[in-house]
Amino acid sequence: MIRTARMEDVKSIHTLINSFAGDGLLLNRSISSLYDKLRDFIVYTDDNVLIGVCALQITWDNLAEIRSLAVKQEAQGRGIGSQLVQGCLDEAEKFGIERIFTLTYRPGFFRKLGFNDIDKKELPHKIWSDCIHCHKFPDCDEDALMYVKKHDV
């Protein structure tokens, strides 16, 4: 089941995200930052156990970022990540946001969901505020991809 994140999810979100941060696949998140951004997160639960998480962060005029996508290793390959990303895309649509980007080490996953490769230089400087805390800054090796909502014709 996908739902918005709740206060009682923060410690589980923290553990899940930081397990991938330890492998260098996501940025480490503090408990404090998760409380600050809790409204950005949706979670996937199974029998009230948090299995996956994803966030949609609005970054600029008509631009948002899919970030902190993580699914427990044992639950990967079941479509949970795709459902979480789609949930964030649906949320973006509610806000009228038509361009959603991601920075990722798994570009193939996002390409299957309709994201296309872009040059990082196309993104506004504002999005790099978290990047300065990354040990790879300024030599980011993540791929940048963008989803652009198609209008009905």
Tell me which residue range forms the domain holding 98: 2-148
Residue 95 is assigned to a structural domain of this protein: yes
Report the amino acid identity of residue 129. Answer: S
Of 128 and 151, the structure prediction assigns the larger pLDDT to 151
Residue 10 is assigned to a structural domain of this protein: yes
- pLDDT one-digit tens code per residue, 51-83: 999 999 998 889 999 999 999 999 999 999 999
Residue 31 is assigned to a structural domain of this protein: yes
| Arithmetic mean of pLDDT over the chain | 89
Residue 111 is assigned to a structural domain of this protein: yes
Flag whether pLDDT at 133 surpasses 80: no
- CATH code for position 69: 3.40.630.30
pTM: 0.89
Answer yes or no: are the C-beta atoms of 141 and 135 closer than 8 Å: no
User: What pLDDT score was predicted for residue 19?
Assistant: 93
- pLDDT one-digit tens code per residue, 10-59: 999 999 999 998 888 888 899 999 999 999 999 999 999 999 999 999 98
What proportion of the chain, given as a percentage, has pLDDT over 70? 88
What proportion of the chain, given as a percentage, has pLDDT over 90? 72
Residue 153 is assigned to a structural domain of this protein: no
pLDDT bracket for residue 141 (50, 70, 90): confident
Longest dimension (CA), the chain: 45
Residue 113 is assigned to a structural domain of this protein: yes
Q: How many domains does the chain have?
A: 1
Task: Please state, in angstroms and rounded to a whole number, the distance separating the CA atoms of residues 99 and 147.
Answer: 6
Flag whether pLDDT at 92 surpasses 70: yes
- Phi/psi for 19 (5° steps) reads -65, -35
Residue 25 is assigned to a structural domain of this protein: yes
User: What pLDDT score was predicted for residue 139?
Assistant: 61
99-104 and 63-71 strand pairing: parallel
